[in-house]
Structure formats: structure tokens, C-alpha cells
Chains A and B, each alone.
Chain A
């Protein structure tokens, strides 16, 4: 790899041993993918994937200490993934004790992030690109982010350029201010190997469509046709939310880091079918395929029975989604003559989004509380890493959560029905 004078000085150790090792790590990483140079990060903020001080990630926090001690600090501010738990979320004493144990590195991690220049104490969310949070890259920006759903969103919905970087590598990129140029940073790497033709009778739920795309494309870039029939050609907040959830699902069943949606996402609008590689394969997703994918999910529950805990908002909800889901619950409860949800429910969103929701929709916020719904900025994936939750029957409409936990998946409609008393299974 050819390095510029600034990076050659780092390589000579003129900025310390820690910086030299950071550079060597990123060079070795880039060379594995044929990168010939490092390119400057142009996004105004970084995003990291570590928001939970998990006890199993001690080696990561040791490494972060080593970086801090060596003066290797990020060049710009950053946001990071959500915390694993929050004090106001209802839980048993046993859960509370267990969380203290499994997240025993939380204070240490937050102190390290502070020393490294995290944006603020509200910067813990997987959807930092929400306007309320403000980590919004520009079209064409070069990023060194991690968090699969955020990378997918930044690449696809915004048109920024970011590889699927791992935790720690994203931090090191931010420290160096450069990333190796390969893959999704290049024009060629952003071309589609798959044409996905959506031929459903009605708009499929985003988490299920994304799931089907992830299973098929694994790590390849898909060019999705047919969605503009329902989503239109403008990136309204409703459309962005749909794409956020679809992308997160395709990044957990597979490792899709970029998708193009015909007539909708910025590069698809600009370049059209020029984004499709000549030998691209075609895959049709219809209602039967959506059903097949849903039916293929394993049953994670140890014992059948009524659900005990429900999660929605993985990835974190937007303010509009909080509003929409509140209305769905209110309507469902009214229809079934109930006041409260049937299952303890947690809605998840970024701290800044929750604050905005409280301000913009104070009656809805209060109504959620009355219905028995807790609004929290925790990460459901991290929350369910508590082994005590293995025995709890959890339900969700998030493909990402169902993949990484023992939560049972239901479609959004089914989940609302269960929560409002319209059906009793689950």
C-alpha cells in the first residue's frame, strides 16, 4: 500500500507506538482486500458499535486503555451503539443483579468513551443518523463506521461510502482519520450482483423482506425492483424508516452492507441500472417466499406458554415510528376493549428521539405509560444477553433481535394483535 507523507510519519513511529500499531492494523486489513491507498474520512462524525460494557469484552476495553495511554485518540467526535439496560426499565431483583455482573465493564467503557471524545451522554443509539441525534453524513462522504444496520443505512439511504468495519477497527479508523480504500468505498464495489424483483401482492413488512434478501444475497449488493410501487420515489421519513428496518434485517441474516432501491435510493436514482453488474443473478420475492422465510425461523422458546416480554424498536425507532406504534396499540386496545397491553412491552429509541417524542407528542408519551409500555434507549440485543431472559418467553417483530436472542418473531401486525388482546398465542 502506498502511504502519503502524513501516514509515513506515523509508520516511522513519530506519533508514538500506539499510533504506529493502529496504522499497521489498518494497512494489513486493507491489503487483505487489495487496497492500494488510504483515503481520508470526510464524514463529520464517527459511529462505533460498542455501547455495552459486556464482561466478555474485557480485552477490548484493555485495548482501548492501551490506545488512550499511548495518546491515540479519535480525530473527531462520534456516537456509539446503545447501552444494554436502563434503570427505569421494570425488572426483577435477580435480573438487576445479573445485569450488574454481565455489564460489569459499563462504567469503565463509558469513561473510556468520554476520554476519547464521544459526542455526549445521549450518543448511545444504533440510529445516530436520526435528525434528533444529528450524526448525518453527506452523500459521497467516506466513513469508518461500524454497526451493521447503520452502515447499511449510511451506504444505501444516504449514499455515503463505508465498509462493514468491525468494532475496534472503526475506532482505529477514527483515530487515524483514514480508511483503506476497497469494497464499498469504490464505484465497482457498489455495483449489484443481484436483481431482487419484489412481486408481492402488497408491501411486505420490511423486516421480512430484508430477511429474505439477506438469506439470498449474503454479502452481495442487491438492486431491488418493485418497491417504488408502494414506497414512491421520495425518501420521506416513513420510507426511510422502512428502509432502515429492511436493511437491518438483511444485515443480520446475511451481511448486506449496501442495497439500491430502483427509483428511490440516491445512487439508484442517479445511475439507474448502470449499477447492475452484467452477470447479475435475478431472484423473485413473492408472498410465498416471504412466508417461507418466516416459517424457517427456529422456535427459540424452551417452553410454550403466553409471552412475558415484548420488544419493538430494533433498530431504534424514529419519532414517527413511536407515534405510529402508539396509535396502533391505542386502536387495537380500543377494538378489543382493553386498557393495557397483554404483555410487558418495551419500545426502544435513541435518547434524543425519546426526548423529542416527549416534547412533540406528550399525550402519546403519557398514553404509552398508561398502556403499560416502557420507552427506553436500551439495546434489546444486549438486554437479552442476560441469561435469565433465556427462560422468559420474549416476542418481537425485529429480525435482528430474533436472530441474536431467544425472542420469537411475529410480524408487526401479529405483534400488535397479541399485545392488544386480539389473539392469545405467543
Chain B
């Protein structure tokens, strides 16, 4: 049975995407610094410090996470990845989203044709329950529906 969660909308949108889950901070620069270039056309995640998602594909995924960490290039790296078609379709935070993630999503909403939908405050249970590969539907009122595997 599908499970429904309700979060706070930072960048609204209706999206359906496959879940990619990290239970520790997502280091945006370490993961996506070459994404979209000839060095990493497919958008493979490259943070060796995060074995849970290292080597997995980013494009179009519903990234489920507690927060982003690391360099303050984070927001602009998300913006670049999104413009080049290798960013996540949405970012779903268990906690309140951090400044760098919000910056990235806000930049895409105001300066590109590919906004990253961002919903936060979904709660610890959301991150504990959601599994990689599950289909996720996000509605523009902040409802997040996680389908059965």
C-alpha cells in the first residue's frame, strides 16, 4: 500500500520519479562536480565518502535525503546539473532544507526551464521507510506519495 507524507513546499511542482536515498548528508560538489561534462555525461554520483549512493545515477531521480553538506558551490552545482539535464527532478528532505540546497532549487525556479521541486520537513519516518527504486509522486501542495515496491 502506498504511503503518504506531507512536507513544506519550497519550490512547487508535480513530479513522478524513482527514489534515490541517502541517509547521510549529500555532498553536492563531491557528487556532481563533473556531471554533464564529457567526464561524466550520465551524471554518476562520485562521492566516495558516501558508499550508499556512490556510483549511482542522478538524472531525473527523486533524491531523498536529510540535508546537503560541503562546499558552498553546492547551489550552483545543482543549478548547472539541472540545466545540463543531469540533476534530480526533486529533492525531498526529512529535515528542514539547508541554504545550499534551497539556493540551487530557487536558482532553477527563477533562472532555468528545469526547476528542481523541493519539499522539506517530511520527517524521520519518511527517510527510514523510503527505499531506493520506489516510485514517488510529489504534488505541488507538498504531498509526497511513496508507492509500494
| A interface residue numbers (CB < 8 A to B) | 21, 24-25, 28-29, 32-33, 49-50, 54-60, 63, 66, 102, 146-148, 151, 163-170, 183, 218-219, 251-255, 297-298, 300, 385, 387, 403-404, 406
Contacts and interface: CB of A to CB of B under 8 A. Distances in A.
A147 B76 CA distance: 12
A151 to B, nearest CB: 7
Interface in B26-71: 27, 29-30, 33-37, 39, 48-49, 51, 67-71
Contacts of A50: 73, 76
Contact of A56 (B35, B72, B75): B35
Contact of A255 (B30, B69, B77): B69
Among A24, A60, A255, find the residue whose CB has the most chain B CB atoms closer than 10 A: A255
Contact of B80 (A60, A218, A219, A385): A60
Among A148, A169, A298, find the residue whose CB has the most chain B CB atoms closer than 10 A: A169
Contacts of B112: 59
Contacts of A298: 48-49, 51
B98 A56 contact: no
A168 B75 contact: yes
| Size bin of chain B's contact surface | 35 or more
Interface of B: 10, 25, 27, 29-30, 33-37, 39, 48-49, 51, 67-77, 79-80, 83-84, 97-100, 102-104, 106-107, 109-112
Given A59-B84, A146-B72, A168 B79 contact: yes
B124 to A, nearest CB: 14
Among A25, A59, A183, find the residue whose CB has the most chain B CB atoms closer than 10 A: A59
B93 to A, nearest CB: 11
B99 A147 contact: no
Contacts of A219: 67, 69, 98
A29 B75 CA distance: 11
Contacts of B80: 56-60
Given A146-B73, A167-B77, 6 more contacts: A58-B80, A102-B39, A168-B107, A169-B107, A251-B70, A404-B29
